[in-house]
Amino acid sequence: MAKETLKYTNGEITVVWKPKLCMHSTNCWKGLGEVFNPKARPWVNMEGSNSEMIIEQVSKCPSGALSIEIAGAEATPLDPTQTETTAIHVTPNGPLLISGSFLIKLPDGQEEKREKVALCRCGGSGNKPFCDGSHKRNGFQG
């Protein structure tokens, strides 16, 4: 079973990967293959590029499975009551991509503050309500 969270650091920044949230969009390795290589172990090579490029690429992760921690910086908690607009993008034959500042309330009562998430529309995800890329394998149309 995959770990909940994996971290990769270069001392300046840390890439945080939450495998259960990954929808396998391939944005990371297609955009910065010298850092993100799904065939290598570990699959994140923090020496492959500079911190600025890594931060820029991680910000393009549509599911929020990848995030950045900056050494010495305090985490800023999300405030789901702030006035920032939350956007929902219905992808062709894929998940709902939600971005903004929001709170997800899961059936078990757990709450997660998030800025990005990919929610399954195909019904085939093994990690519902989150997308795991199953729509690519099951031929989902919608």
Q: Give CATH 3.30.70.20 domain extents, the chain.
A: 6-70
Interatomic CA distance for residues 132 and 135, integer angstroms: 8
Say which CATH topology domain 6-70 has.
Alpha-Beta Plaits (3.30.70)
Strand ranges across the sheet with 87-90:
87-90, 96-105, 111-119
Question: Residue 62, preceding bond cis, omega within 30 degrees?
Answer: no
pLDDT digits (tens, 9 = 90+) for 73-82: 765 555 555 5
Over residues 32-61, the mean pLDDT reads 96
Contact (Cβ atoms closer than 8 angstroms) between residue 115 and residue 64: yes
Domain 87-138 class in CATH: alpha beta
E strand residue ranges, 6-141:
6-9, 13-17, 66-70, 87-90, 96-105, 111-119
Of residues 128 and 3, which shows the higher confidence score? 128
